[in-house]
Chains A and B, each alone.
Chain A
Amino acid sequence: MKVKLFAAFRDGRFKEKEWGYFDGITVGSILEALNINKKEAGVLLVNSRHAETNYRLGKGDTLSLFPVIGGG
C-alpha cells in the first residue's frame, strides 16, 4: 500500500511512502497516524477516486491526501 502527500501536508512529513497494510485499515486511521485533522483534509483519493474517511483500503491501494487547495 502506498500513501502520497501533497502541498502543505508534506511539511515535516514525506512525499510518498510504502504503508504497512493490515486488515480493516481505513483512510481515517492513516489520517490519524499522520496527525492530520479530518477537517484539514480537503481531498482523499484512493486509486484516483474520491473516498471518505471510513473507506476500507485494500492491499495494493494508493492513497493520495491533499489539504484544502484550489487554483484555476
Chain B
Amino acid sequence: MPDKIYRINMTDLKVTNEEVPEQWKGLGGRGLTSTIVAQEVKPTCHPLGKYNKLIIAPGLLTGTAAVNSGRLSAGAKSPLTGTIKESNAGGTAAQFFARLGIKALIIEGLPQKDTFYSLHVDKSGVTIQEDTEFAGKGNYEVMQMVQKKYGEKIGILSIGPAGEMRMAAANISVKDPDGTIRSLGRGGLGAVMGSKKIKFITIDDTDGPGVQIADPEKFKTASRTFAKGVIAHPVSGESLKLYGTDVLVNILNEAGGLPTENFRYGQFPGHEKISGETVYETILSRKGNPSHICHRGCVIRCSQVYNDKNGNYVTSGFEYETIWGFGANCNIDDLDIIAEADHVMDDVGVDSIETGVAMGVAMEAGIIPFGDGAGVLRLLKEIGTGTPLGRILGSGAEGVGKTYGITRVPVVKGQGLSAYDPRSIKGMGITYATSTMGSDHTAGYCVPVNILNVGGFVDPLKKEGQVELSRRLQIGTALLDSTGLCLFVAFSVLDNLDLFQAMMDMINAKYGLSMTIDNGRALGRKILRTEHEFNLAAGFTNKDDRLPEFFEEPVPPHNAVWDFTDEEIDSFWNF
C-alpha cells in the first residue's frame, strides 16, 4: 500500500487523505517538512496565524530495522525566529507513523472556537475530537492519563501549558518507550501546535500496513554493515552509552570553550560537579540507568534515567546542553537542581536550551543573581502558571533581553546559542551565524572536528577552514535529518565513506532507488537552499547571519574574539 499524507484542517475540522505527490516521494523527515513548508506556507505569515502549518513526518528509514532510525521531524515557520524550522526527536511516535504508512501530517488553519482538541491517528485515519479534559495540565500528567485511557503502548505527542499559552520557547513532547518525555525542542513548535488548539495527538499503530522494503536482501546487508560501523566507533559504541552527552562538560572546560556566566568566561570552576563523569557516578549510586534509549532500535543509548537522593525518578534524556544551560551558563554547580529544572521544563513544555539561555539573560538583568538555583526553579514554575514574568521568560532569551534592556543576549535570528563559545570554537560560530534555523548547534556540529579529534581536526581558534567545515556538516546534517537517523550516528558515518554508502544503500533498498553518496549530498544541499530561500522570502538577508556584537569582547582563557568579516561569513552560501 502506498504511503499517505493526512491533511488536517483545523478551521473546518476536516481531515483529507492524499496520495504522496511524485516530488515528495524521495523525501522524509526534515527534507519533507521543509519542502512542504516552503511550498505551502506564506513566508511572511504570522507564525501563530491561519497561514502557518505544522508538518509532522517520520524519516526515510523510520520503521525499518535500521539502527537508530526512529526520529520524528516537525516543521513550520518558527514563532521564535521567524525562519523556517525543523526540530526532531526520538520517542515512539515516528515508528508508529511509519508503520501506519503515514508519510506526513499537515496541520493547517485555525479553529474558530476557543477550546482544545485532540487528534487520534490509527489504521483507519485521523480523527479530531474536542477535548478540554487535559487543558492546562502538564505533559507528565497528560502522558499518564492518556496512557490510562488508551493503554501503555499508545504513541503520544503533547504540549504543556507553555504551548497552550503560545510561548515562543514552547516545545512538543514525545512519549518514549517508558512513558517519559523526549522533546521536539527548538523554535517554538509547541506554540504553533497551541495556536491550532491541539493539546495532544495519540498514535495507535495496531494492524497498520507496516513498512514496505523494495529489496529486503539488499536492505539486510546494508543495515548490518551500518549497525556494525556505528557500534564499532568508540563514541557511538562506548562513550555515549556510559557518560551520555554530558561527557562534554569537562573537555569543553579544559579547551576553554564552555560558556560560563552568560558567555563571559570559557571555563567554569564548578565543572567537575556537573560533568558526565559525575552524572554517571550519581546515576549508579542512586540506582538509575546510565544507558537508556529514546526509541526501540537505538544501539548508542546516550539517554539515561536520573533519580533523586531517595532513588525516585527525576528526569531522563538529561543532556549536556541542558546541564550547561543551567549549570555553567547560570553558574550553578548542583546537578540535582539542574535535573529538577529539566523535569519542570519537560512538564511545562519549554525548550531546555532556549530556556537555559533565557535564564542566563534573566540573571544578567538582575531578576535573580547568577548561581541562584532556588530562584531558577521558582521562575520556571512561573512559566507554567503564566505570570507576566513567566511569559517573558517563556518567550526566549531575546524577549528577556529586550524587556530588560540588556545587550549581552546570545542569540542569532532570535534563537539562543548553546554550549560552545563561538569565539574559541570558531566552526560553531559559523554554524550559529548561518544556520537556516537560527542559532542551532546541531545544524552543523563542528565540535568533533574542532575539539574532539573525531573526523579530522581544524584548529578551533583559527579562522582557516571553518566556513568549509560548517558547510560540509550542514549539508550532511540536512541529509541525515531526513533519514530519521539519530544525529549521533554522524560520529561514525560522516567521515567513513563505507558507512555513508551503507546509509544510502538502506534508502535505496527501501525505495528501489540507486542514490550515490554524491546524490545524498546533493539532496542535503537542496534542502539547505530550499530553507534559505524561504528565509529570504520571509525578509531575512545576509545581515541576519551575524553574531551579537558583544562577541567582539575577548573570552578567557584564550582571550579569543569573534573576528570573521561579513564577506567571510557570506561565503558560506557559495555552493
Q: Which residues of A contact B (CB under 8 A)?
A: 4, 6-8, 10, 15, 42-43, 45, 48-50, 64, 66-72
Contact = CB atoms under 8 A, between A and B. Distances in A.
B457 interface: yes
Interface string B250-280: 1100111000000000000000100011000
A64 B254 contact: yes
B389 interface: no
A8 B251 contact: no
A59 B247 CA distance: 29
Contact of B453 (A43, A49, A71): A43
A6 B277 CA distance: 8
Interface in B446-505: 447-448, 451-454, 457, 459, 461, 487-488, 491
Contacts of B272: 15
Contacts of B256: 48
B558 A70 contact: no
A47 B444 CA distance: 27
B182 interface: no
A48 B457 CA distance: 15
B248 interface: yes
Nearest to B424: A48
Contacts of B453: 42-43, 50, 68
Contacts of A50: 255, 453, 457, 459
B254 A48 contact: yes
Contacts of A45: 254-255
B68 to A, nearest CB: 13
A72 B251 contact: no
Contact of B235 (A4, A10, A15, A69): A69
Contacts of B234: 42, 67-69
A59 B276 CA distance: 30
B551 interface: no
Contact of A68 (B235, B244, B302, B457): B235
B454 A70 contact: yes
A71 B276 contact: yes
B452 A10 contact: no
Interface of A is mostly: mixed
A69 B251 CA distance: 9
Most interface-central of A15, A45, A72 (chain B CB within 10 A): A72
B194 to A, nearest CB: 28
A63 to B, nearest CB: 10
B250 A6 contact: yes
Contacts of A15: 272
A48 B235 contact: no
Contacts of A10: 277
B83 interface: no
B443 to A, nearest CB: 11
B246 interface: yes
A72 B447 contact: yes
A21 to B, nearest CB: 20
Most interface-central of A4, A15, A69 (chain B CB within 10 A): A69
B448 A70 contact: yes
Contacts of B247: 7, 69-71
A23 B540 CA distance: 58
Interface in B265-309: 272, 276-277, 302
Interface string B69-87: 0000000000000000000
A43 B558 contact: no
Contacts of A4: 254
30 contacts: A4-B254, A6-B250, A6-B254, A6-B277, A7-B243, A7-B276, A8-B238, A10-B277, A42-B452, A42-B453, A45-B254, A50-B453, A50-B457, A67-B234, A68-B234, A69-B235, A69-B239, A69-B251, A70-B236, A70-B247, A70-B248, A70-B452, A70-B454, A71-B239, A71-B244, A72-B245, A72-B248, A72-B441, A72-B447, A72-B487
A49 B246 CA distance: 21
